């Protein structure tokens, strides 16, 4: 499962639990058995760094609304390669990330 899928599934769960709201838009999903299901689109949630990268700052003192594991990439130089421009090794691992909703953020001026 990709990070986008993990975050979407968790967003839907948080919306059903009343922790986050909706965008007001409806999504139509096709189920594995061929039927379709309509559901409300959950409001966006992101990590602290993701909000920062799109121009928002999490307000001081805000606590995360959810914590769950997502994929994280770690890149480092391959061992035994001291030359410049040497090969790099990327590893993927699961890491717990903390998520915030838009009402916990403010636009960076």
**19-42 pLDDT per residue, tens:** 999 999 999 989 899 999 999 999
- DSSP code of 61? T
Average predicted confidence (pLDDT) for the chain: 92
β partners of residue 36: 30
* The pair of three-digit structure tokens given for residue 11, joined into one six-digit string: 């967003």
- DSSP code of 20? S
Question: What does the pLDDT read at residue 80?
Answer: 64
pTM: 0.81
């Amino acid at each position: 499962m990709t990070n986008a899928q993990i975050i979407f599934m968790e967003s839907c769960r948080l919306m059903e639990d009343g922790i986050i709201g909706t965008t007001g838009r409806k999504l139509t999903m096709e189920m594995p058995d061929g039927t379709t299901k309509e559901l409300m689109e959950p409001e966006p949630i992101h990590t602290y760094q993701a909000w920062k990268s799109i121009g928002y700052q999490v307000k001081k003192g805000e606590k995360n609304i959810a914590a769950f594991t997502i994929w994280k990439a770690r890149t480092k130089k391959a061992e035994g390669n001291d030359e410049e421009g040497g090969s790099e090794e990327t590893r993927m691992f699961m890491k717990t990330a903390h998520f915030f909703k838009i009402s916990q953020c403010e636009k960076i001026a």
